[in-house]
Amino acid sequence: MARSVAHAHWVEHVNGVNPSPEMRGWLTDRISLTVKLIARSSHFRVHRLTQRPGLCLADELAAVKLQRRGRVREREVLLECDGVPVVFAHTIVPLNATASDWPFFGSLGERSLGTTLFGDPQVMRGSLHFARLRSEHSLVRRACDVLGVARFGGPLYARRCLFRRKNGLLLVTEVFLPAIADIGTRGKGLKNIVPAAEHAVAECCLSS
């Protein structure tokens, strides 16, 4: 498989993916994505698709400090607003992480991983990286399969972040689906929710 297909081009600055002003906000916002989605919808749901052993993707190796492709613990969910999937989220934990590193990971069910990470003072968050994923990328193909579509109209914007807790690493990739553009800015309690999330970020010493 050609490198351009197997590997997304992840960049450290959002300008490298040339997003629209609205998409830039989704990609770079420092608050929890879950919090932001809750604030912009009447009903929010984490729809768990799978949580099982899987194979690390080719462009995840360096991020999680692996020398070669190998098995990881994998979790994939759809984040839905008012019944519409708006984000496909993919998380991996290398097998060398222990249960004490990520004690909650195996029992999340349909709870939000993001909320759990932001609420744990032992979790350190790395910087965000950004990409535009082509239709051939594994995560785009998985999102297509889940939604029952052949392909999307163009590349999908994505961001990812590496989290550390004790000696464990955890990589979260969020792929923004086309329906994210239709989410309104009516915020039920938005003014109250956002400051609370920002305070949680500060308490947890999270950066990005």
Nearest in space to 51 (alpha carbons), one of 103, 93, 99, 6? 93
Q: 33-47 pLDDT, tens per residue?
A: 888 999 999 999 999
Percent of residues, the chain, with pLDDT higher than 70 = 76
Q: 């912009």: which residue's tokens?
A: 40
Please give the CATH topology (third level) of the domain spanning 3-203: Chorismate lyase (3.40.1410)
Report d(CA 151, CA 147) in Å as an integer.
10
Q: Please answer whether residues 71 and 30 qualify as being in contact, where contact means their C-beta atoms are separated by less than 8 angstroms.
A: no
Q: 60-116 pLDDT, tens per residue?
A: 988 988 877 888 889 999 999 999 999 999 999 887 776 777 766 666 667 677 666
pLDDT at 106: 65
Phi/psi of residue 194, nearest 5 degrees: -65, -50
Q: Identify the helix (H) or strand (E) that includes residue 138.
A: helix 138-147
Specify the amino acid at residue 140.
V
Residue extents of the structural domains in the chain: 3-203
Report d(CA 71, CA 189) in Å as an integer.
42
Phi/psi of residue 169, nearest 5 degrees: -110, 150
* 93: DSSP letter: E
CA angle 94, 98, 102 (to 5 degrees): 85
pLDDT at 199: 36
How sure is the predictor about 187, in pLDDT bands with cuts at 50, 70 and 90? very low
Exposed/middle/buried for residue 117 (C-beta within 10 Å: 0-12, 13-18, 19+): buried
